Structure 1
């Protein structure tokens, strides 16, 4: 984080700053995703879970696009992401918690809460001083990668068996989603670019999770959530490109 950076305007001025200067592709990606989700909403039965899913996915897609959207600030500095994803992500978390509780994906509920406390809330708190300048982004060493992989596998093993005890509807993939997603949130909190590699893998796991939900028919939100995870995969790729570390620490 750039210690010297501080936004001196009002919150509304900051919001305007955060929503301008983006590269065109992130906005195009967001527009495509919203249009696709709107079509799913209108072509299927509309009830409370469908509406909650659409609202959550709308803000969730906006959040993930903001996390990896390259662009320039008002002073012409290149930035790799935008802190407004803290506000957008906080809104989406509420909906995602409701959706995952209704689907019986209890570890995904916890995954959302980890994301909220490690990423969204700190961004909401530090909106004046957060900087998306890519010079401070770090990468993992080979030994660091080894620690991460071992931690994920150990967490997956434990969470899987606890998930069975809790009657999670899909303990295999739900446990892995939390193991990877929670680790990615922690690395993002510590400013590591590796987070996008893990979120990319987590997105594939969530595709399997929601594909299973769609196939087995235990959640009405399965189709829009499946489409959302495919969208998240695309934004993770964009984010990984923008969050290139300049040095390994």
Structure 2
């Protein structure tokens, strides 16, 4: 499994695992939070490498994270993961399996695509409209930190769609999502308390991985001669 992993990838995964285990014992974090964090990290690292196996860890992460978010009244996060991310994992397995890379560059499983400028314009407009409307819905049902929650959820949905369709630009959205999610959990844990610091560490690790993912998929797209669509 680790034969085509770089030194950076192995070191990063080991360091993240050790930090999470330390937090679990030092701050008496929840076991479910530890499971969600570790499975999530494995998922995003495998996405950055273009591996279909990311979706199997994604099934574990999305289901556990949905429950944790619900217990903190982060209904947007809970609905996103339970009602959208979880079923999408199975769709992703199918779609990536149908679009394997014909000429693997670094052991990746899938062929990479790129967005056009027109595609970016549509994406930005749709994201703004979605964030505003979803924030109103979250406010209506009594959610917490609704603006941050809405932005994180809407951008996550578009990022996941780009991921399913194998666009390298998904990583630009994941970077934004991770910054928003870190802020969301810091605010939530400060205002409500709780023992799930693993969530902050997980999203911080996701942020670093998303930067690496953007770098890696950009290289893959150039090496594969990815076309814009």
2: CA distance, partners of 1:93 / 1:30: 19
Please state how far the C-alpha of 1:144 moved relative to its aligned partner.
1.0
Alpha-carbon distance in 2 for matches of 1:60, 1:130: 23
TM-score by length of 2: 0.87
* Residues 1:83 and 2:52 aligned together: yes
Which of 176, 188, 203 is matched with 2:163 structurally?
188
2:85 equivalent in structure 1 = 115
* Matches of 2:205 and 2:37, distance apart in 1: 10
Structure 1 residues 130, 32: CA separation in 2 closer, same or farther (over 3 Å shift)? farther
Q: Which runs of 5+ in 1 are unaligned?
A: 1-15, 70-80
Q: How do 1:92-241 residues align onto structure 2 when only pairs under 5 Å count?
A: 92-113=61-82, 114-118=84-88, 120-125=89-94, 131=100, 133=104, 136-221=111-196, 223-241=197-215
* 1:83/1:130 contact within 8 Å kept: no
Aligned residues: CA RMSD = 1.9
Distance 1:112 1:160, change over 3 A: same
Structure-to-structure mapping, 1:27-106, within 5 angstroms: 27-45=10-28, 50-69=30-49, 81-106=50-75
- Number of aligned positions between the proteins: 216
Structure with the larger helix share: 2
| Kept after mapping to 1: 8 A contact 2:69/2:77 | yes
Q: 1:85 to 1:208 in 2, by over 3 A?
A: same
TM-score by length of 1: 0.80
Unaligned runs of 5+ in 2: none
Q: Relative to structure 1, is the Cα distance of residues 129 and 21 closer, same or farther in structure 2, using a 3 angstrom cutoff?
A: farther
**Bigger mean CA offset, 129-138 vs 210-219:** 129-138
C-alpha distance 130-35 of structure 1, shift in aligned 2 (>3 A): farther
